[in-house]
Amino acid sequence: MAELVKTNKMFGGLVKRYAHQSTQLGCKMHFSLFTPPAATNGNKVPVVYFLSGLTCTDENFTQKSGAQRKAAELGLALVAPDTSPRGLGIEGEDESWDFGTGAGFYLDATVDKWRQYRMYSYITEELPALLRSLPELDVDNASIMGHSMGGHGALVIGLTKPTYKSISAFAPICNPSVVPWGQKAFEGYLGEGWQEAGKRYDATELVRQYNGPVLPVLMDTGTDDDFLEKQLHPWTFEKAASGKLEVENRMQPQYDHSYYTIATFIDDHLAFHAKHLTSS
């Protein structure tokens, strides 16, 4: 069971932060939840997951994006999990900002030292099961989105789990097998043979082999994003997904990698998800 840590009223809805002991990760975890005004009197509302990027916690999106205003209007619940296990006492877990704490990369580690880094299974199995205990959430009617490392996670999870009605991402790491952030994470968490093992966590590699339903995907990346050329490669995913997914890859002039960009375009993403969550 999840323990309610705090509650704040916002745009007629509620921002709640929960804590629970994770069986997948072997530590205490937090997640943040916004429920709109529509989630009252026994009404269930659709769920949109937001996966955050490197160094973030469950609260960055909740505090910085301004997403609650539009979510309240559209009747969407927003779920923001943390980005990694915390406080496991693993040697080196806090030495690097792009590996270890705050950098779980939404995969299931196979290197023994990092075996508790199972963010893929946490997001796809444990967290939805936990949310089912909250009567206001329609967990079976869900979409997923994320930013940077979380955009990578949203694409990978959306492609590998036939659970989500739509996928969106801000500045996603689209081809992690060929960029420094992804290579560091895959080698560290997956160990020897990571080049092959990493393909199951690489959205571009996954979509090349994809033969599932034609999912709608919205991506926004700033042309002034410092990581665009070295780490993100949204054009690679768009090309690989041609004819397989409905991808709208928008390059936004002068926008960067920050939450200023997310706050600017978050309403578009929530409207995009609401369209697909309410049409079924």
Known catalytic residues are 148, 225, 257
User: Are the C-beta atoms of 13 and 68 separated by less than 8 Å?
Assistant: yes
Structure tokens at 131: 């949310």
User: Are the C-beta atoms of 47 and 140 separated by less than 8 Å?
Assistant: no
Side by side, which strands form the sheet with 216-222?
3-10, 13-21, 28-35, 77-81, 45-51, 137-147, 164-170, 216-222, 246-252
